[in-house]
Amino acid sequence: MKFAVIVFPGSNCDIDMFHAIKDELGEEVEFVWHDSEDLSGFDGILLPGGFSYGDYLRSGSIARFSNVMKEVVKAAEQGKPVLGVCNGFQILLEAGLLPGAMLRNTNLKFMCRTVGLRVENNETMFTTSFDHGQTIQIPIAHGEGNYYCDDATYKQLLENGQIAFTYEGTNPNGSLGDIAGITNAQGNVLGMMPHPERAVDSLLGSADGLKLFQSIVKHWRDSNVVTA
């Protein structure tokens, strides 16, 4: 499977994502600059964390208009897995690929620590390697991770099983319903604030994040089995 790691001016977790795919997952991966106009050669799209365009105006609001985002939207419409982490999640929200919006953390502080996540839906292409209700340890690093949506959207997320992860125990940022990660209705776009790419080896304190990437590969291989 071949992944694209999208790089925006201000991305700072792109190398972490590249390492997770190449060295820990053992799959093909390339950096793709924000002005690219072709993602057709990739099977999965990864939007890493950071501060795209300095987070001016609003996190992700400028990156949303980068040339490559037209291709990201196209890949999502084709059913390819699209993962946005932290700032990548914010960009997916701004692009309308996921519902809702991101607010400042309720304590108005940037937070960087490992938190517990509860797996709410283990039937998406990103979560099949987990158990339902399993608690995993994944780092966070954000100042605007307070997910918000209106009541109708929240009800829809619950009814459709679009909430992939919630914070276990203390909610670090005040997000509605303790939400840490959501998918689109089709289940092929995932946005999450915690960083699974920073939890792919026990030397990093946790290897729980690797299962997310393994789930993507398993789904892709199962979907591309050639029968005689």
The residues carrying an active-site annotation are: 86, 195, 197
- Residue 77 tokens, joined: 């419409």
- Region class of 50: left (phi > 0), else alpha (psi between -120 and 50), else beta: left
- The answer to whether 69 touches 123, Cβ cutoff 8 Å, is no
Under 8 Å CB-to-CB from 187, ≥6 apart: which residues? 124, 125, 162
Main-chain dihedrals φ then ψ at residue 196, nearest 5 degrees: -65, -30
Strands 163-168, 179-183: pairing is: antiparallel
Would you mind telling me the total number of residues written for the chain in this entry? 228
Helix or strand or coil: residue 46? strand
What is the identity of the amino acid at 118?
A: R
Angle 166-167-170 from CA coordinates, rounded to 5°: 150
Query: Edge-to-edge strands of the sheet including 163-168?
Result: 28-33, 2-7, 44-47, 82-85, 189-192, 179-183, 163-168, 111-119, 135-142
Instruction: Give the CA angle between residues 189, 127, 117 to the nearest 5°.
Output: 100
